[in-house]
Amino acid sequence: MADQALYRLDGKVAAVAGAGSGIGEAVALGAARLGARVCCFDVDETRARAVAERAGPGAEAAALDIRDGAAVEAAFDALRQRAGRLDVAVCTPAINVRKPILAYTEEDFERVMALNVRGSFNVLRAAGRIMTAAGRGSIVLLSSIRSQVVEPGQSVYAATKAAIVQLVRTAAAEFAPVRVNAVAPGVVDTPLTAPIKANPSWYEAYAAKSILKRWASPDEIAAPTLFLVSEAASYVTGTVLFVDGGWTAIDGRFQPPGM
């Protein structure tokens, strides 16, 4: 059995963007439980501070809009100066405007691209500069099953999640020995998916689509994310880890007769 110490984050400094809710919150709390000194970044500073308080002594929080590249650079540099290092960076924020392509406006397009792609890129670049200079570290960005499979109304969101995959692969090639990976969730019970959960038929349809026939909790996405940033994943880089209950492994729900 692998040494359990490999999964620990003792002595590590972790920056979690989007830590105020959902998957980011679960990642921040999980990293703290594993021994990391966590900085909870979120556009909503009140929520970030509430999560930091739950994370325990040593955790901190700050307001950060990841769409602002200069602000991200400054925040990450300040964290490195305070803590003396930066070992882990995880970026989780995303939005989705569900509309057919022909109904999409330029404003809709820019809004989704600005957060999902530019925001993720800003975190990737800021963390990468610090980590490559130090010669160590691990970065995880959040992709999605929508990088592979789509449905009507998901065009721009899906495009952003596919873009994140290629950003991760390129950064892994450029940043080594710093490791860069992506986690691609299926349907997760978070504020982003609240409109779906509010519609019982839609909610159940999504649950039925996966092999496990249910939605994921944020903790179930946080655990694989924390594996990727730990030393247990020391030879994993440039990859996409699908955490989707088997959604992308099957191509339908019909069961042939006799099966």
Query: Active-site positions?
Result: 157
Contact 176, 139 (CB under 8 A): no
DSSP string, 20-68: TSHHHHHHHHHHHHTT-EEEEEESSHHHHHHHHHHH-TT-EEEE--TT-
Contact 234, 7 (CB under 8 A): no
Contact 137, 130 (CB under 8 A): yes
Side-chain half-sphere CA neighbours of 27 within 13 A: 36
Using alpha carbons, select from 92, 89, 109, 87 the residue that is nearest to residue 100: 109
Instruction: Please give the distance of CA 241 from its chain centroid, rounded to a whole number.
Output: 11
Contact 21, 220 (CB under 8 A): no
What's the CA gap between 1 and 145, in Å, rounded? 31
Contact 86, 124 (CB under 8 A): no
Using alpha carbons, select from 60, 50, 53, 51 the residue that is nearest to residue 82: 60
What's the CA gap between 27 and 39, in Å, rounded? 11
Which residues lie across from 39 on neighbouring strands?
A: 15, 60
